[in-house]
């Protein structure tokens, strides 16, 4: 049978090598059989695998386990390597490296890393094949102090990790894709403001920020007019991404990972040109940047991810409007208002540029279709002419 157990211990009487007695749990000297050794020994399993044990009994158990693995075809020397290449820790580190090379944003990388580190508190020392449905269920059933929506996002990260591992190992091991638990949650409807309130907030933003930096108001205004654009995408725009000859803005790092651009109306192109001329810069400089030195910022530095929202909330506070961040107050509010004059398909394909399920949380159903349906019901009931209904009611009372 494959594999042997060895010891460096010698016979106390004749200094001969001790012979392992298979299945008896000890070594013995052939010349002095009364001498039996139960202590430190080494398991050698082929040329690649060597492991030390304090007792012969522990070594026998390990050797038996390796033989069973060999018989059923699951033996993998990498499980016993010093660097543990099949441990959750090693694989999650390789997965993060792969994600960094894939070109996703640093924000996404940090999110993936955080989720895997949290799971690693329980799984880092485990071999990947030893983490099955039970361990995964236990992780998601633990109270992490978060909502089900966040927990569902964690599930997506771990599921993607396992898909990557299974694809990587499919030709070298018998690793199977585990089943993940269902996580149910209900998304809240997006908070919006009316177009009138939106315009009032924009006017207040302009009033309080124009002398400080007109690009603050310009950025928020563009978000309200072009719902296709997200705040983070707008902040990544550099001077060279804006073509005022053909009235285009190209977005270098869109969330959809597909080429993305917007065609500016002539009046908006003119507005951008006027504001750009106040502080011109080279093509590789961020357009939405600080123009004055202030605590924590320097001239030419890109606006932070929350900068638009900070000024938006200042304007809302001045107007007594609460609970509406810049994303909801611009994109979501504009799209909701458009629902009164455009169909859902028109808005999805011509305004927002996507058809995600999140769209349904802030877009009102087709206003025109609802009115048409209600009108049909009224006609069926004979209520299409309100004056005739009143007249009929009066006639009935008279008779």
Give kind and range of the element (H or E) at residue 41. strand 41-45
Instruction: Determine the pLDDT at residue 24.
Output: 73
**173 pLDDT above the threshold of 60:** yes
Q: By C-alpha distance, which of 188, 192, 220, 186 is closest to 339?
A: 192
pLDDT tens, position by position, 286-311? 999 999 877 677 888 899 989 999 99
Choose between 348 and 79: higher pLDDT: 79
Instruction: Determine the pLDDT at residue 390.
Output: 44
At residue 344's C-alpha, the angle toward residues 339 and 345, to 5°, is 145
**185 pLDDT above the threshold of 50:** yes
Instruction: Determine the pLDDT at residue 284.
Output: 93
Q: Is the dihedral of CA 21, 68, 75, 99 positive or negative?
A: negative
What gap in Å lies between CA 148 and CA 109, rounded to an integer? Answer: 21
What band does 172 get if pLDDT is binned at 50, 70 and 90?
low
What are the residues facing 289 on neighbouring strands? 302
Q: Residue range 202-224: average pLDDT? A: 93
Q: Residue range 83-104: average pLDDT? A: 84
Among 68-72, 110-114, 149-153, the least confident range: 68-72
**152 pLDDT above the threshold of 60:** yes
Instruction: Determine the pLDDT at residue 218.
Output: 94
**265 pLDDT above the threshold of 80:** yes
pLDDT tens, position by position, 226-260? 888 888 889 999 999 999 999 999 987 666 566 68
Two tokens, residue 140? 């998601």
Choose between 349 and 180: higher pLDDT: 180
What band does 28 get if pLDDT is binned at 50, 70 and 90?
confident
Two tokens, residue 250? 């190209």
**189 pLDDT above the threshold of 90:** no
3-state secondary structure string across 294-339: ECCECCCCECCCCHHHHHHHHHHHHHCCCCCCHHHHHHHHHHHHHC
Is the CB of residue 385 less than 8 Å from the CB of residue 378? no
What band does 188 get if pLDDT is binned at 50, 70 and 90?
low
First to last CA, the chain: 109
Q: Residue range 371-395: average pLDDT? A: 49
Is the CB of residue 234 less than 8 Å from the CB of residue 288? yes
Length of the chain: 399
Report the predicted TM-score, pTM, of the whole model to 2 decimal places: 0.55
What gap in Å lies between CA 190 and CA 336, rounded to an integer? Answer: 10
Q: Is the dihedral of CA 288, 239, 228, 99 positive or negative?
A: negative
């Amino acid at each position: 049978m494959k594999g042997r157990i060895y010891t460096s211990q010698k016979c106390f009487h004749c200094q001969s090598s001790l012979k392992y007695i298979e299945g008896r749990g000890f070594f013995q000297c052939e010349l002095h059989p009364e001498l039996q050794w139960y202590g430190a020994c080494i398991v050698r399993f082929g040329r690649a695998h060597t492991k030390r044990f304090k007792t012969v009994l522990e070594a026998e158990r390990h050797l038996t386990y390796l033989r069973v693995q060999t018989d059923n075809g699951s033996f993998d020397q990498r499980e016993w390597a010093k660097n543990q290449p099949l441990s959750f820790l090693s694989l999650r580190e390789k997965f993060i490296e792969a994600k960094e090379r894939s070109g996703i944003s640093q924000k996404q990388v940090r999110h993936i890393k955080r989720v895997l580190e949290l799971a690693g508190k329980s799984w880092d020392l485990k071999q990947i094949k030893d983490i099955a449905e039970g361990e995964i269920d236990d992780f998601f059933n633990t109270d992490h102090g978060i909502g089900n929506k966040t927990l569902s996002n964690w599930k997506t990260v771990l599921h993607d990790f396992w898909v990557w591992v299974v694809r990587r190992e499919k030709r070298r091991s018998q690793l199977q894709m585990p089943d993940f638990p269902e996580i149910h949650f209900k998304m809240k409807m997006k908070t919006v403001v009316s177009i009138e309130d939106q315009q009032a907030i924009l006017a207040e933003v302009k009033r309080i920020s124009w002398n400080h930096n007109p690009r603050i108001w310009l950025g928020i205004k563009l978000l309200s007019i072009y719902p296709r654009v997200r705040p983070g995408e707008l902040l990544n725009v550099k001077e060279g991404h804006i073509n005022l000859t053909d009235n285009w803005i190209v977005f270098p790092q869109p969330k959809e990972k597909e080429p993305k651009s917007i065609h500016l109306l002539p009046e908006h192109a003119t507005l951008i040109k006027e504001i750009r001329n106040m502080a011109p810069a080279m093509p590789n400089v961020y357009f939405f940047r600080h123009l004055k030195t202030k605590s924590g910022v320097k001239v030419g530095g890109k606006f932070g991810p929350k900068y638009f929202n900070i000024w938006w909330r200042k304007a809302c506070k001045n107007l007594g409007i609460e609970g509406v961040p810049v994303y909801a107050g611009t994109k979501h509010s504009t799209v909701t208002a458009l629902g009164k004059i455009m169909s859902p398909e028109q808005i999805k394909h011509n305004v927002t540029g996507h058809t995600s399920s999140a769209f349904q949380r802030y877009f009102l159903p087709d206003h025109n279709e609802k009115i048409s349906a209600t009108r049909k019901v009224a006609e069926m009931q004979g209520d299409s002419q309100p004056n005739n209904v009143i007249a009929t009611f009066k006639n009935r009372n008279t008779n």
